[in-house]
């Protein structure tokens, strides 16, 4: 590697889950603290951070095509850092395969980025995929300016080892951030403009403080902070869904009526092979309890089709579950064999054509369910948290309490909570009629 001038501008591109989005924001703040500024829209950056996702093969391969695209006509390239879960999983391989990359930094080590940039400027390539004891969070600068809806990572890593999943390897063991650090960061987010905070974790409901209190205590403490209007959390694992957390949906008005609880399959044999450690019945029982606590709760989930050995009949069980639950929205994926996971070695890998057909059927059912949920919201009044302007004159976009996208026209500003009546429903959004501004 040759020496390069210190970068003056940066661009961070995040892929994958919301935790990666959060990490991307934190890296951007870290770079800004070093005096590096965001590259203006349409202009090339001196430093590009690719914050990657390893969850499925397609996502993981994307990093190499992205690196290729960063090359200029004369063969040179900006400084490139590969961060995130592909960095963690394939650090050395990236270095070997992509000479244009000068830094590889794992999700637990990105606070060391400034030192790595200094090395890169001096012509040294480096890989840092440590999971150090001192957490990155202690080393990051304070949040400055955020939108009305902000993310706050409270928990990282996973101890569940579902047989298809790379996350326990890329993000490490479950670790909870301390209660007092989280309250302090939440307060800074609110000062920086947040009205809604979404608590993030690979298994967010596994969050525990040292005193062993669970996520509901954190939610209660956050709800007491003036200026914070809404609280959400994602992603939850069925096995960590405590009664205390379910009760919070009844007792804490600022906790929004939305639960993302992945199930993956509607068949117990498949769930067992996935090592999910819950059954269809135990999953449905949790949904019954959350509905008892909060009857209007909107439900969401994740599904995998074509797990090794999944038969047609077993897949039909998943369709039946979707029918039964009435999800408000969901994510669904074709199974992707990930190197190093037990499922990748299992017999009965399902052909791609079969997976395509199953995914199409599942998505049709999920889309129908989402539309039905949206239609059932018609006539309701609710508050919309305004996140941005719409395309039309005087139009605003925001979210309902049930995480639906809602657009309306009238007087409002970003960050307002505006009371609307839901008057039209499409598959992906609703339109609202402004009743009166709730604040300001
Ligand atoms: N911790 C969360 C989800 C993390 S990954 C949970 O367990 O709910 C997000 C989603 O990606 C998973 O819920 C699963 O549906 C999907 N996923 C994970 N590994 C996958 C794989 N190998 N192939 C296809 N989808 C996968
Ligand atoms: Fe992956 Fe399972 Fe952990 Fe979720 S719970 S991150 S799917 S291993
Ligand atoms: Fe992807 Fe890593 Fe998130 S693999 S889904 S970015 S935890």
Cα(264) to ligand 1 centroid in Å equals 8
> Are 210 and 302 part of one and the same domain?
no
Domain span holding position 432 = 381-439
435-to-76, 255, 408, 427 alpha-carbon distances in Å: 56, 23, 10, 23
Q: For the domain that residue 148 is a member of, what is the CATH number?
A: 3.30.750.210
Ligand 2: nearest atom to the Cα of 165: 1
218 exposure class (CB count in 10 Å sphere: 0-12, 13-18, 19+): buried
Cα(167) to ligand 3 centroid in Å equals 6
> Are 151 and 227 part of one and the same domain?
yes
Residue nearest to atom 24 of ligand 1 (CA): 335
Q: Which ligand is nearest to the CA of 86?
A: 3
200 exposure class (CB count in 10 Å sphere: 0-12, 13-18, 19+): buried
- Please check whether residue 347 lies inside any domain of the structure: yes
**DSSP per-residue letters across 4-49:** -PPP-EEEEEE-SSHHHHHHHHHHHHHHHHTT-EEPPTTSPPSEEE
Q: For the domain that residue 431 is a member of, what is the CATH number?
A: 2.40.50.140
> Are 390 and 352 part of one and the same domain?
no
Q: Which ligand is nearest to the CA of 62?
A: 3
> Are 354 and 370 part of one and the same domain?
yes
- Please check whether residue 261 lies inside any domain of the structure: no
> Are 321 and 429 part of one and the same domain?
no
- Please check whether residue 38 lies inside any domain of the structure: yes
> Are 22 and 113 part of one and the same domain?
yes
- Please check whether residue 405 lies inside any domain of the structure: yes
Cis peptide preceding 361, ω within 30 of 0: no
- For the Cβ of 85 lying below 6 angstroms from any atom of ligand 3, the answer is yes
> Are 246 and 299 part of one and the same domain?
no
> Are 420 and 367 part of one and the same domain?
no
Residue nearest to atom 3 of ligand 3 (CA): 17
User: To test ligand 1's pocket by mutation, which of 86, 260, 304, 337 has the most ligand atoms within 8 angstroms of CB?
Assistant: 304
Q: What is the pLDDT along the chain (440 residues), one digit of tens a residue?
A: 678 899 999 999 999 999 999 999 999 999 999 999 999 999 999 999 999 999 999 888 899 999 999 988 888 889 999 999 999 999 999 999 999 999 999 999 999 999 999 999 999 999 999 988 778 888 888 887 889 999 999 999 999 999 999 999 999 999 999 999 999 999 999 999 999 999 999 999 999 998 778 999 999 999 999 999 999 999 999 999 999 999 999 999 999 999 999 999 999 999 999 999 999 999 999 999 999 999 999 999 999 999 999 999 999 999 999 999 999 999 999 999 999 999 999 999 999 999 999 999 999 999 999 999 999 999 999 999 999 999 999 999 999 999 999 999 999 999 999 999 999 999 999 999 999 654 54
113-to-19, 67, 89, 104, 105 alpha-carbon distances in Å: 18, 18, 18, 9, 7
Cα(413) to ligand 3 centroid in Å equals 33
> Are 371 and 426 part of one and the same domain?
no
Cα(85) to ligand 3 centroid in Å equals 6
CA-to-CA distance for 37 and 10, rounded, in angstroms? 6
Q: Which ligand is nearest to the CA of 55?
A: 3
- Please check whether residue 263 lies inside any domain of the structure: no
Q: What are phi and psi of 146, to 5 degrees?
A: -135, 165
> Are 63 and 174 part of one and the same domain?
no
Please say whether the beta carbons of 9 and 46 come within 8 A: yes
- Please check whether residue 2 lies inside any domain of the structure: no
Please say whether the beta carbons of 4 and 120 come within 8 A: yes
- Alpha helices per DSSP H over 263-308: 268-273, 280-293
- Please check whether residue 268 lies inside any domain of the structure: no
Cα(234) to ligand 3 centroid in Å equals 13
CA-to-CA distance for 318 and 330, rounded, in angstroms? 13
Cα(336) to ligand 1 centroid in Å equals 10
Please say whether the beta carbons of 201 and 235 come within 8 A: yes
- Please check whether residue 3 lies inside any domain of the structure: no
Of the three residues 128, 152, 170, the one that is the final residue of a domain is 128
CA-to-CA distance for 126 and 92, rounded, in angstroms? 10
Q: For the domain that residue 372 is a member of, what is the CATH number?
A: 3.30.750.200
> Are 356 and 394 part of one and the same domain?
no
Q: Which ligand is nearest to the CA of 301?
A: 1
DSSP-based three-state secondary structure for 299: strand
Q: For the domain that residue 30 is a member of, what is the CATH number?
A: 3.40.50.12160
Of the three residues 376, 404, 420, the one that is the final residue of a domain is 376
Per residue in 201-233, pLDDT tens? 999 999 999 877 899 999 999 999 999 999 999
Per residue in 350-385, pLDDT tens? 999 999 999 999 999 999 999 999 999 999 999 999
Of the three residues 358, 376, 394, the one that is the final residue of a domain is 376
Q: How many domains does the chain have?
A: 4
- For the Cβ of 17 lying below 6 angstroms from any atom of ligand 3, the answer is yes
Find residue 383's DSSP bridge partners.
419
> Are 241 and 300 part of one and the same domain?
no
């Amino acid at each position: 590697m040759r020496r390069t001038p210190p970068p003056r501008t940066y661009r961070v591109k995040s892929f994958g889950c919301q935790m990666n989005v959060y990490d991307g924001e934190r890296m951007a703040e870290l770079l800004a603290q070093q005096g590096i500024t965001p590259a203006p829209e349409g202009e090339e950056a001196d430093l590009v951070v690719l914050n990657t996702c390893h969850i499925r093969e397609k996502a993981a391969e994307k990093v190499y095509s992205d690196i290729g695209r960063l090359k200029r006509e004369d063969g040179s390239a900006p400084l490139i850092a590969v961060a995130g879960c592909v960095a963690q999983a394939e650090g050395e391989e990236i270095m070997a395969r992509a000479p244009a990359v000068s830094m590889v930094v794992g999700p637990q080590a990105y606070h060391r980025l400034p030192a790595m940039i200094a090395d890169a400027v001096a012509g040294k390539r480096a890989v840092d995929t440590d999971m150090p004891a001192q957490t990155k969070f202690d080393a990051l600068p304070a949040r400055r300016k955020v939108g009305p809806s902000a993310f706050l990572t409270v928990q990282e890593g996973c101890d569940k080892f579902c047989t298809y999943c790379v996350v326990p390897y890329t993000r490490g063991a479950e670790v909870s951030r301390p209660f007092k650090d989280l309250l302090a960061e939440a307060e800074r987010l609110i000062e920086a403009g947040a009205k809604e905070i979404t608590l993030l974790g690979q298994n967010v409901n596994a969050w525990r403080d040292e005193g062993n209190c669970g996520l509901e205590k954190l939610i209660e403490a956050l709800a007491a902070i003036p200026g914070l209007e809404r609280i959400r959390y994602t992603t939850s694992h069925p096995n960590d869904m405590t009664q205390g957390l379910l009760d919070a949906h009844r007792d804490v008005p600022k906790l929004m009526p939305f639960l993302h609880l992945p199930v993956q399959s509607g068949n117990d044999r498949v769930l067992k092979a996935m090592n999910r450690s819950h059954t269809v019945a135990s999953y449905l029982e949790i949904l019954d309890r959350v509905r008892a606590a909060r009857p209007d709760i909107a439900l969401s989930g994740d599904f995998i089709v074509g797990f090794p050995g999944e038969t047609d009949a077993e897949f039909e069980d998943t369709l039946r579950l979707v029918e039964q639950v009435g999800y408000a929205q969901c994510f669904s994926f074709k199974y992707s064999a990930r190197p190093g996971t037990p499922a990748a070695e299992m017999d009965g890998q399902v052909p791609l054509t079969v997976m395509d057909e199953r995914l199409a059927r599942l998505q049709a059912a999920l889309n129908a369910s989402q539309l039905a949920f949206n239609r059932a919201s018609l006539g309701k009044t609710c508050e919309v948290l305004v996140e941005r302007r719409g395309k039309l004159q005087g139009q605003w976009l925001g979210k309902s309490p049930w995480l639906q996208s809602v657009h309306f026209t009238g007087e409002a500003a970003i960050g307002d909570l505006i009371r609307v009546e839901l008057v039209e429903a499409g598959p992906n959004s609703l339109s609202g009629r402004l009743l009166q501004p709730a604040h300001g």
